[in-house]
Amino acid sequence: MNLTADKQEIKSYLLGILDGDRKTQLEERILSAPETYEELLLVEEELIDSYVAGGLSTLERQQFETHFLITAERQKNLRFGQLLKRYVNSHLFPVAVPHVEKGAPAKKSFNLSMLPDAGRPVMVFGIAGVVLLGVALLCWLGYRRPPSRLAQQRVEPVVVVTLAPAAAPRVNVPPKGYDLKLELELANPNFRNYKSELFRENKSVQTRGELRLESKGEQYVVPLTITGEMLSPGDYEVKLCGVSESGANEFIEKYSFRVIE
């Protein structure tokens, strides 16, 4: 059995785009050849993973949704694939970034075991060497940086408010020239990307994407900056969605606050 050809053929079959004699022959093999049946089971799971990871072409994606997902069993399998992906994303590549002061360079926590090739000593030492060289170069550049450059860094004028899902704090209209930075607290940091929609008096006024998770002490937050000029007294609500690798939005939390004079 040619594994790659078989895999591709089975993928087409599952998506309903294999026809004629090839389809009949494959179905006969599913019934009579145990290795083809087993391969079908493997490709089914891999197809679900590809869909969840956004790795299917437009046609494949369309076929997946209209043909592959017709049974409750496969829908259940898709749900499992999505959960597993969420788990892997949150455990293998933690996106937690230690809280840093303004103006200081961001530091990412790094663990060699996170590397795909961890366990291969040559690769690990090689990468570690490159990282050390990089750190040394950054230190050297920092040391050489003229004082005038440091003086040019300005502290951004923002009012920071931390929002928990159940709370509805009152926030003063920011002073002129200041923005409002909301830190939206999250219990389960399961996505890398987040999207928000801001409502004023139940009317959508702003949508933001590509929001990244940050850690603030032991708490995870999604920072959302709102231009001060946009804010006037009234009741506001932020709807936060997690964005999966396939681009699908999953509602996470709703946050409320009241802006006062």
Partner 1 sequence: MNKDWELSQEAFDALLDWLDSDREQAALKYEKIRRSLIKIFTGRGCVEPEDLADETINRVTSKLKEIEKEFSGDRIRYFFGVANKVHLEHLRRKLPQPTPPPTNDPDRIELEFNCLERCIERLSKEHRDLLLRYHGAEGPAETEHRRALAEELGIAPNALRIRVYRIRMGLKECVEKCIERSHG
**Nearest to residue 220, comparing CAs of 246, 249, 253, 250?**
253
Site string for partner 1, 177-196 (x = CB under 8 A): -----------x-x------
Our CA angle for 123, 97, 190, nearest 5°, is 90
Chain Cα centroid distance, residue 235: 29
Minimum CB separation of residue 28 from partner 1 in Å reads 6
Report, in Å, the least distance between residue 116 CB and partner 1.
5
d(CA 63, CA 14): 9
Taking each helix axis as running N to C, give the angle between helix 20-32 and helix 34-52, from 0 to 180 degrees, rounded to the nearest 10.
120
- 41 or 160, CB closer to partner 1? 41
3-state secondary structure 122-177: HHHHHHHHHHHHHHHHHHHHHHHCCHHHHHHCCCCCEEEEEECCCCCCEEECCCCC
CB of 212 to partner 1, least distance (A): 19
Amino acid (one-letter) located at 34: P
Positions 7 through 46 that interact with partner 1 (CB under 8 A): 13-14, 16, 27-28, 30-32, 34, 37-38, 40-42, 45
The CB-of-130 to partner 1 minimum distance in angstroms stands at 18
3-state secondary structure of 46: helix
Q: Of residues 54-113, which lie at the interface with partner 1 (CB under 8 A)? A: 55, 67, 69-72, 74-75, 77, 79-80, 83-88, 91-93
User: Which residues form the interface with partner 1 (CB under 8 A)?
Assistant: 3, 13-14, 16, 27-28, 30-32, 34, 37-38, 40-42, 45, 49, 53, 55, 67, 69-72, 74-75, 77, 79-80, 83-88, 91-93, 116-117, 119-120, 188, 190, 245, 250-252
